Amino acid sequence: MTSAQFNLQGKVAVITGGGGVLCGEMAKALARQGVKIAVLSRRQENAQKVADEILEENGEAIAVACDVLDKDSIVAADEKIQAHYKSYDILINGAGGNHPDAATSEEYFKQDHLNDEDTKSFFDLTKEGMEHVFHLNYIGAVLSTQVFMKHMLGKEDASVINISSMSAPSPMTKVVSYSAAKAGIDNFTQWLAVHMAKENVRCNAIAPGFFLTSQNRNLLLNEDGSYTERSNKIISHTPMERFGKPEDLTGTLLWLADTGMSRFVNGVTIPVDGGFMAYSGV
């Protein structure tokens, strides 16, 4: 058994967005280290699928439906988890996503877009779409932290891990609201790290580069499986020349979650991007 397994053995982790590709892999990686997992997802069946995979590997997990847009739903999820686990050691705020009414269809604006019904420009973004993205990615993380972190107090070390994005430090084209919300997550990570320091609750974030998920697959792959124009741009600006795989995140995750490895790491966002942020394009 490695030191990571020893330090994480018997801990309890709550993971919002745990029914998704990336956070689902995080849930399974932690479970393999002996962590007890509460898998939260807006749809019960998505959370259950991940929990079942953990159980099949002789891990311990429960599945709970939770909509981070609704604080009552978060509180209800917490009450269900409390029937199994009275305190938590790790919180991963992984719920997030985009909305078509909060993104432009083109990278650059041209005046003739105003008269093109097939083009969604900056001037077509809706208040409802932008609010949805901001609430899902930022407010949802804050509300979830308010509810679940109360059960993380009084420990020698507890860890909140937010999921940021490479679009936070350098906003991607088209996804204006998503980029702004993830920048907010980076700021919230720093703020919370300071605010909770006296209570031994560390807060850090992981910023994935470009990973293929169910949410972005249609943007990155053509029907025949070939790369779209956007994908080719991404790969050309990623020195490792590939998309990330979900398991590429687990080393950073385990390091941040393990008090023996990252006890003095607090308030940082770790990029896991294949060198994307370091590459200037020349």
Q: What sign does the CA torsion over 133, 257, 152, 6 have?
A: positive
Catalytic residue selected from 85, 178, 227, 279: 178
Catalytic site residue 227?
Answer: no
Residue pair 41/14 in contact by the 8 Å Cβ criterion: no
Q: Please say whether the beta carbons of 50 and 61 come within 8 A.
A: yes
Cα distance between residue 61 and residue 52, in whole Å: 8
Mapping DSSP to helix (H, G, I), strand (E, B) and coil, where does residue 271 land? Answer: strand
d(CA 45, CA 65): 8
Separation CA 84–CA 165 (nearest Å): 32
Task: Extract the runs of DSSP E, i.e. beta strands, from 35-115.
Answer: 36-41, 61-65, 90-93
DSSP code, position 226: P
CB-based contact 39:62 (threshold 8 Å): yes
**Residue type for position 99:** H
The structure tokens listed for 172 are 């991607």
Element (H, E) at 162: strand 158-163
Residue whose C-alpha is closest to residue 144's, from 63, 209, 213, 90 = 90
HSE-CB for 249 with a 13 A CA cutoff: 31
Catalytic center residues: 178
